[in-house]
Structure 1
């Protein structure tokens, strides 16, 4: 097998400064032989003259990057590979592609080794963009007809899954704004190192050959996941950044919850930039709801069956995983009346009034009288949510990782008030 070729991937929205950073790294490559792959190059994008021993290839958007990386690794001519991802690419998908090729490709493919995932953030526009409900199509950036992602969704996906965040164009933001932005980024991804920069001026050793990449650690890095694991949510009183973890073992009334999420509740008690988690509707005892909000648009759908809705024979056979399931069935050391069914939402944002947000959600829960009415009565409650397609066909029939459902506007009074589409 060829020597492993360490790969640094530069992700970030168009205009954040990826090319500027890459040119800076090449200019300070100190005689190293660096291969460069530029994916989905934009008009007007220019590379600086390459140092001796370096080579650049411009690729269209798509999977050609993996094949080209494997070819370069097989040649054995380079010390490192520097990849500039397309502005809409998500680091998670890129990392999965590299790891899949390393595991299943064999031969030269296995020589490509992710080393550092870097996300470049535009300090002057990030907070504005993640507060909006602007779709990629609104900017003419959608990659295909079915690409209904928002700008905020792409930005947050790039920030939440990476090893290093380069806070670029810091010269265009004031000190208070930079401190606030740094606090937000740290709350979104507590694991990532945050480097302030102007004109892509970053010491190469902070983003190349760092050995920081760890797929499992990166996949668990988002702040909302850390909060659900019980790790202390990141908070910054000076910057006004905080995270609310909302947990209840009582179902939502479907009509009251639907009414709430079609209001501006995520902007009326501070500004919720990001919220994720599971929710439980009284009218749907079998399936967990998946909640996913980025900026001004939230999406909801089916997340798979509650473990309590399945025969225990279908629970994980692995002892550690089964212990986690059994723990979810407990509350304060006693069996929960409805198993693992619960509300479990994480909300991160600026200047949040936690008590007010909790009160809004609590008002959607069933009252004591409604709880006493029982499951049969709950099934007849008005339920305006669309049907959740039951296509959670992983090995054990239980997947809380996919969303198949509806969108709702949640915070931008000018765009997508109510349903986004």
Structure 2
């Protein structure tokens, strides 16, 4: 809680996304049309080593400057600058919150920054010895999307650096993986069609957004026929919607994100969830990776690899990008300290799905694509599972002399399920 006499926590909407033009337009509309709203606009230098910032009110710019960004890489290979604001900006946010001058703050991010992770970072941030969470409150994580670019972005193997969007020299993320993460993190998706695609393409893009962000609210910017500019009849969803849930955001980035139900297919867009209580044979999975990814724009979930029965492995594919990474350990018996340390949501799912022998171990993957051949995809995945004969041999016989994931995941250990 803020000290006595301090203003109440300043609500902050964190606005990101690849569509910089849509982002800037909606931020300008919100600060101009809604009294008391200010925007703190962050822009990355073309080389990704520096961030420029400007503070704007209804009447225009108030202040500005630049700060260096942290280009270190995190454990998930993303640069830390994509997840956290530079420390030099935190005192500025504290000053804005304590001044009590604004009713709401829009924090607009460069396309390479991931809005939900920045929001979580602010909740844990400190400036001048004070917790930022005592002085500001995350209201909504919003993402700006250009419908005329959505399908291309989700299918693009281009690196962010090729388009001047990278955050530092070590940022090797692609447009596809970044676009997918933006959508999946959103509480609110703000859409516009800057190139006026045909109605079917626009509807298909909107359907892709619903499949990747099924729980997100949406609002659309329209072209003003008189001026040709973008406009919205109601900027309110961006300021004061109270959509952000920190626990839900943390769970999404945790070792075992909760499953979601895929929406119904429409305009050729189809999502499917594949699950199995059997483990996957690492060699057969590795050999089938290209075929599995070929028809899907996006895939995410977690794996149980037979030769690594103690660890959870996250699957994340988008366009030409595929990453399989270790994210934690499967829970042991209910009375173990690790069980008590897990989130309440994970414990609930584990209890519901607990198997007397395998515990919470399972494979669960969700794929989204256009004209996705779901039966063929499920057959491919099922063919990668251990057979009855292999399963009957027991975990001690599931080792591999030529582990295809050894370079990416390290040496396999083999605890008993």
Scaled to the shorter chain, the TM-score interval is 0.7 to 0.9
Structure 1 residue 162 displacement after superposition = 2.1
**Number of the residue aligned with 1:232:** 261
Structure 1 residue 89 displacement after superposition = 0.9
Confirm whether residue 299 of structure 1 aligns to residue 330 of structure 2: no
Q: What is the CA deviation profile of residues 260-303 of structure 1, one whole-angstrom value per residue up to 9, with x for unaligned ones?
A: 11x24322xxx312211221222222223221112221101223
Contact 1:12 1:18 in 2 (8 A): yes
Q: How many pairs are equivalent?
A: 373
Judging changes above 3 Å, is the alpha-carbon distance between structure 1 residues 195 and 273 closer, same or farther for their aligned structure 2 residues? same
Select 1:57's aligned residue among 47, 64, 68: 64
For normalisation by structure 1, the TM-score amounts to: 0.78
User: CA separation in 1, counterparts of 2:329 and 2:55?
Assistant: 53
Structure 1 residue 102 displacement after superposition = 7.9
Q: How does 1:131-210 map onto structure 2 within 5 Å?
A: 131-169=155-193, 172-198=196-222, 199-202=229-232, 203-210=234-241
User: CA separation in 2, counterparts of 1:358 and 1:107?
Assistant: 48
Structure 1 residue 322 displacement after superposition = 4.8
User: CA separation in 1, counterparts of 2:361 and 2:116?
Assistant: 29
Contact 1:10 1:18 in 2 (8 A): yes
User: CA separation in 1, counterparts of 2:280 and 2:402?
Assistant: 12
User: CA separation in 1, counterparts of 2:245 and 2:42?
Assistant: 23
User: CA separation in 2, counterparts of 1:48 and 1:110?
Assistant: 22
Judging changes above 3 Å, is the alpha-carbon distance between structure 1 residues 6 and 280 closer, same or farther for their aligned structure 2 residues? closer
Structure 1 residue 112 displacement after superposition = 1.6
**Number of the residue aligned with 2:339:** 316
Contact 1:182 1:194 in 2 (8 A): no
Contact 1:118 1:164 in 2 (8 A): yes
Judging changes above 3 Å, is the alpha-carbon distance between structure 1 residues 126 and 255 closer, same or farther for their aligned structure 2 residues? same
**Number of the residue aligned with 1:37:** 40
User: CA separation in 1, counterparts of 2:106 and 2:146?
Assistant: 20
3-state DSSP class of the match of 1:176?
helix
**Number of the residue aligned with 1:26:** 31
**Number of the residue aligned with 1:410:** none
Contact 2:40 2:54 in 1 (8 A): no
Judging changes above 3 Å, is the alpha-carbon distance between structure 1 residues 49 and 2 closer, same or farther for their aligned structure 2 residues? closer
Structure 1 residue 369 displacement after superposition = 2.7
User: CA separation in 2, counterparts of 1:352 and 1:162?
Assistant: 24
Confirm whether residue 266 of structure 1 aligns to residue 297 of structure 2: no
Judging changes above 3 Å, is the alpha-carbon distance between structure 1 residues 200 and 165 closer, same or farther for their aligned structure 2 residues? farther
RMSD of aligned residue pairs (Cα, Å): 3.4
User: CA separation in 2, counterparts of 1:325 and 1:217?
Assistant: 17
3-state DSSP class of the match of 1:7?
strand
For normalisation by structure 2, the TM-score amounts to: 0.78
Structure 1 residue 16 displacement after superposition = 4.0
Contact 1:234 1:243 in 2 (8 A): yes
Structure 1 regions of 5+ residues with no counterpart? Answer: 391-421
Structure 1 residue 189 displacement after superposition = 1.2
**Number of the residue aligned with 2:77:** none
Confirm whether residue 342 of structure 1 aligns to residue 366 of structure 2: no
Judging changes above 3 Å, is the alpha-carbon distance between structure 1 residues 181 and 247 closer, same or farther for their aligned structure 2 residues? same
Structure 1 residue 57 displacement after superposition = 3.5
Confirm whether residue 353 of structure 1 aligns to residue 373 of structure 2: yes
Which stretch has the larger CA shift, 33-42 or 67-76? 33-42
User: CA separation in 1, counterparts of 2:283 and 2:60?
Assistant: 64
